[in-house]
Amino acid sequence: MAEHPIQGLMKTAMENIKEMVDVNTIIGDPVESPDGNVIIPVSKVGFGFAAGGTEMNVGHAMDEEERHPFGGGSGGGVSITPVAFLIVGTHGVKMIHLNNGTHFYEKLLELTPQVVEKIKDLIQGNEHIEDQSLSPIDVTKKETPPF
């Protein structure tokens, strides 16, 4: 069976989209700043594609190949939106988001060590209770069960 014209239309469009998709589309090329930091852009990429066609009946006798001429079209689009910059330097790795509302979990992980330190300081601060009627609890000492 011969290839339908819409297949050729779709194949051409998909091959061109494959050529456009590259890892450097999402994670950009690194740029070194004068202070030695490396800045890497991070983008969000969206692709859209549509194709359609029809076989038209012209109403008069033609040979088999021309009996149903084909009409079709396709279209596509791409959207590349920068979302963040990854900065790698001597002080570590830092992500700078362009939209402040998108990095809740990253912020949560970033603040976890500080929260642990605050809790640790709070517990250690309780060891110096001036009211001797309350005995401080030693959370670092393991107690063995009485049996």
Residue 133 above 70 pLDDT?
no
Beta bridge partners of 115: none
Phi, psi angles (nearest 5°) of residue 4: -75, 145
Which tokens hold the place of 90?
């001597």
Arithmetic mean of pLDDT, 79-87? 87
Q: What is the pLDDT of residues 29-58, one digit of tens each?
A: 889 988 889 999 988 888 787 878 787 766
Q: What is the pTM of this model?
A: 0.46
Tell me, rounded to whole angstroms, the distance of Cα 142 from its chain centroid.
Answer: 44
Q: What is the pLDDT of residues 113-131, one digit of tens each?
A: 888 888 888 888 765 544 4
Residue 107 above 80 pLDDT?
no
pLDDT score at 147 = 42
Report how far residue 87's alpha carbon sits from residue 120's, in angstroms, rounded to the nearest whole number: 31
Amino acid at 43: S
Report how far residue 32's alpha carbon sits from residue 17's, in angstroms, rounded to the nearest whole number: 30
pLDDT score at 39 = 92
- pLDDT confidence tier of residue 145, bands split at 50, 70 and 90: very low
Percentage of residues of the chain with pLDDT beyond 70: 65
Amino acid at 26: I
pLDDT score at 101 = 64
Residue 11 above 50 pLDDT?
yes
pLDDT score at 132 = 47
- pLDDT confidence tier of residue 24, bands split at 50, 70 and 90: low
